[in-house]
Structure 1
Amino acid sequence: MILKYFSKKIDHFREHTIHDHYYILPYSCSKIRKLFVRFTFKGEKYKYFYHKYNEAWGNERTIEIPIIKKYVDEYNNNDILEVGNVLANYFKIFHDVVDKYEKVEGVINQDIVDYHPPKRYKLIVSISTLEHVGWDEEPHDPEKIFLALDNLKDCLAVGGKLIVTIPIGGNPHLDNYLRTGKIKFTENHYFKRISAYNKWVETDSDFVEARYNSPYPLANALFIGIYEKQS
């Protein structure tokens, strides 16, 4: 009974006290948090991700990267497509990457709606990229996202998975498509940022309303969609 009591106290200390106080320290010190602090996705504990690039310890990257990386590590590189060149900024990668704008060696510079590979992928991932499709482009076409998602699903092998992360509040049209169910995934998951120290929790809401850059910098809510191709 006593051990159980102290175990709960230690868990509370890890999840709250350590998390909230180390965030205000420089990046080199904030890394200490990853020894103690975890967040939960689909009932499984994950370490927060810390990296200097793009200030990944202080925004939504801190949960996007570990979730997507876990899936990527479960597949062979030849079976993976990444939409948007993100993971290469943090890890050495060997899978296919398509990115319309980023001119980097090894990246396929093609619009995702026009990408028609000769093979089908078992895993397609995208980290905070699809909200830009048709929204931050010319010509402006918010409905282009439907073409992009249809094409990505077509690029999947039967039994393959498409996993995307989308910050809420960055594209109001896409937010509305998610809210109204016009865009459908096999699984819909939402996270909400709950502190200035970049702590995130998964919610059981059908949709999480949030403003971008308010009250905290960048995304204050995150959508994670998982689509599994059955036929």
Structure 2
Amino acid sequence: MDLKEINNYGQEMVECLKLETSPVAVKLVPKGEEVPEGIKKVNEAIRHCQFVDRVRRTGEEFYTLGEDQMCKGGAGVMGLGALPPKVASGEFYYKGLKQFSTQDAAKRTIEMVPTLSPDSTEAVLYAPLEKTTFMPDVVLVICNPKQIMLLTQAYMYKTGGRLEVSFAGKQSLCSDGVVQAKEGKIGVTVGCSGSRVYTEIADEEMTMGIPIELLSDVAAGLKEICPN
């Protein structure tokens, strides 16, 4: 795939699914590599989920460094530094958010969250898929359950089978959406406390993370199964 094809897939996805916002292209720049020329640095520090939500609504393209990511849990799972100790130990979710019966239960959950190696990522790039100027690792589509259904059916169109997904309502748009998809697996996620509080993602919206190597299959399937 080249960038023109990827941009076309983005436009086709918007039209086929009747999306109200853009699919978001995300790329994790490995440590030591440079950000592509011509992409501006973001102008504020917010959370990864907020960057994704902003881009799908505004059509902006930019890059972020670790210093721009306010949620250090999200930054940590994407390799921008390490997970904060209170997140890694489960203390934050047990004592802070009171979402588990014990700290061990919280820690067990966090240990199962897909996570990249600490300090393995230099920067994160964001852009609407139909306008991206860089080759993404992952495409994030935030949409309603029916549209998630159509994306799933599109993926199944060529070879069949079943889509197996894993989520825990934690580290949603970062780990479930980006890291899991970067590892080659389509991820479907229901959101997490942070992404539900700090973004404009609606209660009735979910997220699918699509590895870039599977995008052409999904796009081809959509052409066949999307309602007119």
What is the TM-score of this pair, normalised by structure 1?
0.27
Indicate the structure with greater helix content.
Answer: 2
Indicate the structure with greater strand content.
Answer: 1
Larger Rg: 1
